[in-house]
Amino acid sequence: AEVGEPAAGEGGGELLVRELDLASLRSVRAFCHRVLQEEPRLDVLINNAGIFQCPYMKTEDGFEMQFGVNHLGHFLLTNLLLGLLKNSAPSRIVVVSSKLYKYGEINFEDLNSEISYNKSFCYSRSKLANILFARELARRLEGTGVTVNSLHPGIVRTNLGRHVNIPLLAKPLFNLVSWAFFKTPLEGAQTSIYLASSPDVEGVSGKYFGDCKEEELLPKAMDDLVARKLWDISEVMVGLLK
């Protein structure tokens, strides 16, 4: 209804809904296969899905859920659509991360959290992985006309926190605080929309944004050696390399 019917002399929008489960590499491949069959071009890819502080679970392919969905699912999705993005250049990739990346570390000895699992740490690690992925991808796409930037949306009132247990007595206070201080979904989407569509960031790549402004990153989020190693391991994990 919001997209609207084509008006006289004007093109209308078209909204197509396609099934995609980022906890399943099979689903990611099927989704991308359909997109490549049906769509002649791809101007913008926004990697926005995520899972937050869930109990220890594994994806269909045996990955720790937060790392599997937040990083590996998007990693495969983006790589399978890269050819179409390049053919559609100038085009843009937007990666939604989180300020909580600051509390994460990339532990190559236990990427799948089989030695130890902390739901907060693992979320932060997946969000750090998002930024390192965007940084390495931007390097690889230099000169192609495809830009890649990452962002943090702020604290947004969605059901992302459904796995966080809030004591029953504290819920009224939490609800009050969230209505007072959390962003609405529309407000939380503004930086993604800005990076996807604003002429101000045309040609800008490899940067990190918050509230529609570029922000500084901690050194660990700018470590190119770690970013390349994470890329190489991710390629093997999702089956792009044997």
Catalytically active residues are 123
Tell me the sheet residues that pair with 146.
91
In this structure, are residues 150 and 131 in contact, taking their beta carbons and an 8 Å threshold?
yes
Query: Is the separation of the CB atoms in 18 and 45 below 8 Å?
Result: no
**How large is the angle between the packed helices 25-38 and 74-87, nearest 10 degrees?**
10
- Burial, 99: exposed, middle or buried (Cβ in 10 Å; 0-12, 13-18, 19+)? middle
Residue the block writes with tokens 């869930």: 54
Cβ neighbors of 235 (< 8 A, separation 6 or more) are: 79, 241
**Alpha helices by DSSP H, the chain:** 25-38, 65-67, 74-87, 119-140, 171-181, 185-188, 190-197, 224-237
Radius of gyration in angstroms for the set of CA atoms belonging to the chain, rounded to a whole number: 18
Cα gap 78→86, rounded to integer Å: 12
What does the alpha-carbon distance between residue 198 and residue 226 come to, in Å, rounded to a whole number? 30
